[in-house]
Amino acid sequence: MAKKQLEVLNALDVAKTQWYHFTAIVIAGMGFFTDAYDLFCISLVTKLLGRLYYTVPGAEKPGTLPPNVAAAVNGVAFCGTLTGQLFFGWLGDKLGRKKVYGMTLMMMVICSIASGLSLGSQPKAVMATLCFFRFWLGFGIGGDYPLSATIMSEYANKKTRGAFIAAVFAMQGFGILAGGMVAIIMSAAFKAAYPAPAYAFNAAASLPPASDYVWRLIVMFGALPAALTYYWRMKMPETARYTALIAKNAKQAAADMSRVLQVDLEAEPERVSEENRKQFGLFSKEFLRRHGLHLLGTTSTWFLLDIAFYSQNLFQKDIFSAIGWIPAAKTMNALEEVYKIARAQTLIALCSTVPGYWFTVFFIDRIGRFFIQIMGFTMMTIFMFALAIPYDHWTHRDNRIGFVAMYSLTFFFANFGPNATTFVVPAEIFPARLRSTCHGISSAAGKAGAIVGAFGFLYAAQSKDPAKVDAGYRPGIGVRNSLLVLGCVNALGVLFTFLVPESNGKSLEEMARENENENEDGNGNEITEMGVRDSRTVPV
């Protein structure tokens, strides 16, 4: 027979939206603001790093990062994020959400500053230390994914839970936007202070020595919002679901939530002691039976989504260059190139990325996670093919604005679609004692996809014509064929979405089936050695 819901958890499910909900969104969301800033700001300065450390005197074009260095600089943070998601996701279920939350934030602050202070004047020294600190920066960022999602899902009521979790994730959009704005301000200020000619006119003078400060300041700025949030994160009480269901301290859970909800709640110690028995683990047959397909669905969809999403985000500067929206590098000085790349990416973030996130926040509890994810993957597929199939048409000068508009719509439907829902759903459908771990596994699968996108697209998007390939690269399949591949990846995302259950309007315990005994099937029937016994039959 199904177990009755604990009073403190039921109070959370039916609680009216209060000030503490919005406080939790801001505190958790500022972590994601920092995450997005730190992960994506590097794409704004990679061209500058190439000019600073790899320009060959007398060369026709400015220097660019060698393929292996570019792959490392762009991808090493993702490797750190993947390992951090797995480690801190597991640790969040073992030690508690709050304890681990502070660790991740301090790691992000320290490593953001250290990345900007990368040592040495020789290219190898600077790139090696930059990559080292960005790996550990990514490690801290990785922990923020499962912990922020889990904390917000366990604080929220079931009526608006999806919007609250999506709002935390939507702070990513502001982080991406802030990265572009900081780069615009820094490059514009230094450009005004240190005027320089274009590379084609005077190669040496086109790169003022002060340019080295620009990328360092942009990278270090990410420490500021994380540092400002640390105090408030430490003041948040542990979630009631962790305290009651995992730590088995219903009295403390009731006291914490009474203070937060401003209502009187009584503990139910005898109920908790009844549940203090052996429970199935992640690698058990029972978990496989109940949640195996769910975990396959959340990992596969996040993996496929991030292949497309991160390859677009990290290398949109290359796409804009390919269609002529950003001028050839030799026609600009170093700071002007940073300015124009940042301006282009900020425009995309402002017009499509940020609105897409908040469309999800507004609609997710109205039309559900499943519909938004299916719609998003479908529209991304359509727009990718619409860009790729007539690609030559879009490269003509008169049609470039149309290309940018279509490209922006793929970002809009990524964020009003699977980029948000793949973050929300894993925080809702797994048991409390495995929730952070399973979210960490799902998000780590996403970062594996990001690594595929970041490394793969870096090489694949190179022109087929050897004469047009960037220095140090081999000919690739070109931007057109790369977009076709990404369209197929999005189409696979549609199919795997059917493995993910709809969690709209249901309590966390209902989705995780935590109110069922372990020897029951999903309909409340007891499973015995003789088979399934209908719980509705009355013994005589």
Task: Give the ranges where 262-284 is alpha helix by DSSP (H).
Answer: 269-275
3-state helix, strand, coil in the chain (%, to 5): 75, 0, 25
Count other Cβ atoms within 10 Å, centred on residue 206: 24
User: What six digits make up the tokens of 260?
Assistant: 């937060």
What is d(CA 356, CA 525) in angstroms, rounded to the nearest whole number? 43
Give pLDDT tens digits for 129-139.
999 999 999 99
> 276 pLDDT exceeds 50?
no
pLDDT confidence bin for 537, thresholds 50/70/90: very low
The average pLDDT across 89-109 equals 88
Q: List Cα–Cα distances, 54 to 118, 203, 234, 428, in angstroms.
A: 16, 13, 44, 48
Distance CA 225, CA 33 (A): 8
pLDDT above 90 as % of the chain: 34
Across 133-142, 248-257, 380-389, 419-428, least confident range: 248-257
For the chain, helix (H) and strand (E) counts, in that order, are 22, 2
10 Å Cβ neighbour count for 195? 10
Mean pLDDT for the stretch of residues 369-394: 90
Please list, in sequence order, all residues whose beta carbon lies within 8 angstroms of the beta carbon of residue 272, skipping any fewer than 6 positions away: 6, 244, 248, 249, 250
Mean pLDDT to the nearest integer, 99-122: 87
Give me the amino acid identity at 365: D
Residue 313 confidence (pLDDT): 56
| pLDDT value, residue 254 | 79
pLDDT value for 437: 95
Least confident of 257-261, 353-357, 436-440: 257-261
Q: pLDDT band for 268, please (50, 70, 90 cuts).
A: low
pTM given for the model = 0.85
Q: What is residue 515's predicted lDDT score, i.e. its pLDDT?
A: 63
Q: What is the pLDDT of residues 307-335, one digit of tens each?
A: 988 776 545 655 666 566 677 788 889 99
Res 529: pLDDT: 43
CB 171 within 8 A of CB 36: yes
Instruction: Note the pLDDT of residue 99.
Output: 83
Return the pLDDT at 540: 35
Instruction: Specify the pLDDT at position 204.
Output: 86
> 204-246 pLDDT, tens per residue?
888 898 999 999 999 999 898 888 888 887 778 888 788 888 8
pLDDT tens digits for 407-417? Answer: 778 888 998 99
Maximal CA-CA distance, the chain? 98
Distances (CA, A) of 56 to 32, 60, 69, 70, 128: 39, 9, 16, 17, 20
**CA torsion through residues 167, 173, 176, 179, sign:** negative
- What are 174-204's pLDDT values in tens digits? 999 999 999 999 999 999 999 999 888 888 8
Q: At what angle do helices 67-95 and 19-40 cross, to 10 degrees?
A: 150
Instruction: Reduce the secondary structure of 148-178 to three states and give it as a string.
Output: HHHHHHHHCCCCCHHHHHHHHHHHHHHHHHH
% of the chain with per-residue pLDDT over 70: 86
149 contacts 423 by C-beta, under 8 angstroms: yes
Mean residue pLDDT of the chain comes to 83
Residues 341-369 have a mean pLDDT of: 88
| In the predicted structure, residue 106 carries a pLDDT above the cut 70 | yes
In this structure, the dihedral spanned by the alpha carbons of residues 293, 298, 304 and 305, taken in order and rounded to 10 degrees, is 150
With a cut of 60, say whether residue 38 has pLDDT above it. yes
Residue 274 pLDDT class (50, 70, 90 cuts): very low
CA 33 to chain centre: 10
**Cα distance between residue 380 and residue 407, in whole Å:** 10
